[in-house]
């Protein structure tokens, strides 16, 4: 398939997932800041921005209004939900002939709320639910109407690379702000839609360690890091085709597979000993894998970065 189509499908998957996961992270963190009187708002906001790749000068005051502007409403900030939804629609324009009509309509209708001003006038927490609902409609429409061909594999590859990256950011944020409290991990599980599944797996026993293990290592929960990496590997397997040669000639496959194995085969104690650092290593791997995919499949393109230039 054309490299521009492949690139567009990959970034549709990434941007749509980014918008949803940013909404999930904001939902968790804003609730935590507002409901926990012991939380220092500025410290929590700076920690969240740092995890999302935004550096703020120490002399500049930061609070919830600034957080919401930078991560929700600002159409020029690469880390915001508004930017991600607009970029997904722009990528969809580049692959218009590949998308089904219902999928294009779902993407375009979602985007139209931004220039029309409807998006800007939504307030937390309603806007977080709205973004999650729209993304669920887009993903459901894609699942129901798209052929499982190469374009679908690039869409899935983008979705699951982004999901691994963003779940790691959510886990890192929680580990930095939980301060030994299990309630924050419960909020994180709920933000991922994982709380009910977590209780079933753990027989109703709630601990911080069990919550982190579930979000990182559960092989069949769709939002866990390991599951996302497995699905990304599966998409690359399909795109590369079968081979009898040992090892991997595809750098992205090697990077993702090595990261997955590192998570699965390390002891849980070692993994949780410095969780923010481990999650940062995972984010670096996702960035390097994106660069490798870009060089291999998207002729003349440069991988898009999280942080603004």
Per-residue pLDDT at 295: 92
Residue 22 contacts residue 166 (beta carbons within 8 Å) = yes
CB contact set of 132 (below 8 Å; sequence gap of 6+): 20, 23, 24
CA distances in angstroms from 243 to 173, 238, 292, 295, listed in the order given = 40, 11, 19, 21
CB contact set of 193 (below 8 Å; sequence gap of 6+): 223
What mean pLDDT is reported for the chain?
88
Residue 267 C-alpha from the chain's centroid = 25
Per-residue pLDDT at 81: 97
Per-residue pLDDT at 48: 84
Read off the pTM: 0.90
Per-residue pLDDT at 93: 93
Query: Distance (Å, rounded) from C-alpha 228 to C-alpha 116?
Result: 34
CB contact set of 245 (below 8 Å; sequence gap of 6+): none
Per-residue pLDDT at 308: 44
What confidence tens digit (pLDDT) does each residue in 14-48 have?
A: 999 999 999 988 988 888 888 877 778 888 888 88
Per-residue pLDDT at 38: 78
What confidence tens digit (pLDDT) does each residue in 70-79 have?
A: 999 999 999 9
Query: For the chain, what is the largest distance between any 2 Cα atoms, rounded to a whole number of angstroms?
Result: 59
Per-residue pLDDT at 141: 97
Local structure of residue 303 (DSSP, 8 states): P
Q: Where are the alpha helices (DSSP H) in the chain?
A: 3-35, 41-51, 64-68, 81-94, 101-112, 118-121, 126-145, 150-177, 182-191, 195-201, 208-217, 225-240, 251-265, 268-273, 275-297
Q: Name which of 108, 116, 53, 54 is nearest 85 in CA terms.
A: 108
Residue 151 contacts residue 12 (beta carbons within 8 Å) = no
Residue 188 contacts residue 215 (beta carbons within 8 Å) = yes
- What is the sign, positive or negative, of the torsion defined by CA atoms of 239, 244, 245, 247? positive
Positions of the chain with pLDDT lower than 50, given as ranges:
180, 244, 301, 303, 308-309
Local structure of residue 243 (DSSP, 8 states): -
Residue 51 contacts residue 176 (beta carbons within 8 Å) = yes
């Amino acid at each position: 398939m054309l490299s521009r189509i492949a690139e567009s499908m990959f970034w549709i998957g990434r941007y749509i997932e980014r918008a949803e996961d940013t909404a999930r992270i904001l939902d968790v963190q804003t609730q935590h800041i507002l409901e926990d009187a012991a939380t220092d708002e500025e410290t929590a906001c700076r920690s969240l921005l740092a995890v999302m790749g935004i550096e703020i000068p120490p002399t500049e005051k930061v609070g919830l209004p600034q957080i919401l502007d930078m991560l929700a409403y600002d159409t020029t900030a690469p880390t915001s939900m508004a930017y991600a939804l607009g970029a997904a629609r722009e990528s969809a324009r580049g692959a218009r002939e590949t998308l089904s009509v219902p999928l294009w309509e779902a993407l375009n209708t979602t985007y139209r709320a931004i220039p029309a001003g409807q998006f800007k006038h939504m307030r937390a927490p309603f806007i977080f639910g709205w973004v999650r609902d729209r993304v669920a409609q887009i993903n459901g429409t894609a699942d129901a109407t798209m052929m499982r061909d190469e374009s679908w594999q690039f869409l899935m590859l983008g979705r699951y690379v982004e999901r691994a990256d963003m779940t790691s950011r959510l886990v890192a944020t929680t580990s930095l702000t939980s301060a030994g409290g299990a309630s924050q991990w419960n909020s994180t599980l709920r933000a991922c839609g994982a709380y009910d599944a977590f209780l079933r797996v753990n027989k109703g026993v709630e601990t911080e360690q069990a919550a982190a293990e579930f979000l990182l290592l559960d092989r069949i929960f769709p939002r866990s890091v390991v599951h996302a990496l497995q699905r990304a590997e599966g998409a690359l397997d399909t795109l590369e085709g079968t081979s009898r040669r040992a090892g991997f000639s595809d750098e992205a496959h090697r990077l993702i597979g090595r990261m997955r194995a590192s998570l699965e085969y390390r002891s849980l104690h070692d993994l949780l000993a410095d969780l923010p650092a481990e999650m940062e290593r995972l984010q670096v791997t996702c960035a390097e894998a994106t660069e490798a995919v870009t060089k291999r499949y998207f002729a003349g393109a440069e991988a898009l970065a999280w942080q603004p230039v």
